[in-house]
Homo-oligomer: A and B are copies of this chain.
Amino acid sequence: MNKFERAQELIKKLNVDGWLTISDEGSDVHSHFLLGVNAPSLNYIYIAANGDHRVLAVQMEAPMIERSLKNKGIKAKVDSFSSLKDLESKLTTFINKPRIALNFGENQFNEKSTYFADHLTVGNYFSIKHLAPNTEFISSAPIIYGLRSVKNQEELKDLRNVCKATLEILETLPDIVKKGMSENEVKAEIEYKYMKLGKPSFPAIVGTGAHSADPHHNTSNKKIDEGVLLIDTGLQIDQMCSDITWTVWVGKKPSDEFINAYSALYESKEIANEYFIDDSPANLPSLKCRAYLEEKGYDHEKLFFHGLGHSLGFEAHDIGPRVSWKVSKESKLRENMVYTNEPGLYWKGKWGVRLEDDIIIGKDKCEKVTYNHEDPIII
């Protein structure tokens, strides 16, 4: 089944007439996800319960969208608009239906939040409501969750492929990294290799010394110094992303503190892996990981101040239950969801370590599609 057909099943189940995605300047990733091509200008994608699918795009993007859908065997009428008036009148022909799903989330401050579906912007929402005053608009969250949380075999094959390619590039790090290079230069070398295969799935984080203590450090012109070097990076080929963090030591002999933190994290990650299985509560891998770190003498509440991981797929941060010790045990993991497992320990203003791997949740055990070295790489 192609994506439109899979969506159509979920649309019928939600009992709506159709699902409308509105994207402008890439504001909704589902445009790229559904069309199979990045059409950055304003576009409207309407997948209909009855199969009468429509795409409205600007003139300069309509032909490439049409070709992309055709290549994927998707039947949809692609039309273009030449002015705002034209757009308005063409939209009106298919959005006046009893019930349409739109990409908005609900309950931002609640654990049952559907924030993952929250892409539609306020101006577009009220403009559409104004155009179709009698239509009931509901959240498309169940459709998006159904399409993206559990991966199919083709997606898992792509995931294994992209993870393998990323690891082959990371294994060349000892040839790439030299003391005195800037973080940006290391990033450029890694991403240059990615770009021949696909593209970075997000801007690589390269943090030397104290920069490694900021989990979302913005890679800078600082020169690589002796000591800790954290590299968090991923590749996207076609529809799947990898996301891996390796923390290495630059210089002769790693400090004992570093070796100990690295080993504790390595073990805690392996322990967490045991709970990335079907029907496991989403807080369990994290609780087990943190219990081990505590046992090893680390104040995890203070030193490990982010979730254990996140869903991985078409986006580096994909859709699925949050994996954190703070979520409810009612939230469950499912077979063939894909997650990162990335415990970290950070000493503010000093240094940090994070080890991140990607796994596929299995019936009884997870499949490890990436690895970290058991002993830290010394460069």
A window 178-210: CB within 8 A of B: 184-185, 187-188, 191-192, 195-196, 199, 202-203
Q: Is A107 an interface residue (CB 8 A)?
A: yes
Give the chain B neighbours of A203 by CB distance below 8 A: 38, 199
CB < 8 Å: which of B119, B121, B185 contacts A196? B185
Interface-side segment among A2-10, A151-159, A211-219, A258-266: A211-219
How close is A61's CB to chain B, nearest CB, in angstroms? Answer: 5
Rounded to whole Å, the gap between the CB of A248 and the closest CB of chain B is: 20
Q: Mark A6-40, 1 if CB is under 8 A from B, else 0.
A: 00000000000000000011010000000001111
Partner of A84, one of B84, B110, B199: B110
Chain A, 323-350, CB within 8 A of any chain B CB: 326, 346, 348-349
Stretch at the interface among A46-54, A123-131, A288-296: A123-131
Residue A59, interface by CB 8 Å: yes
Task: Indicate whether A172 reaches chain B with its CB closer than 8 angstroms.
Answer: no
A136 contacts the other chain (CB 8 A): no
A123 and B115 form a contact (CB under 8 A): yes
**Contact of A123 with B127 in the complex, beta carbons under 8 Å:** no
Complex interface: chain B residues within 8 A of A161 (CB) = none
A106 at the interface (CB under 8 A from B): yes
B216 to A41, Cβ gap below 8 A?
yes
Complex contact A123–B111 (CB within 8 A): no
A-to-B contact residues, CB < 8 Å: 24-25, 27, 37-41, 58-61, 63-64, 82-85, 87-88, 102, 104-111, 113-115, 117-127, 131, 184-185, 187-188, 191-192, 195-196, 199, 202-203, 213-218, 305-306, 317, 326, 346, 348-349
4 closest residue pairs by CB, A with B: A105-B123, A188-B195, A108-B127, A104-B122
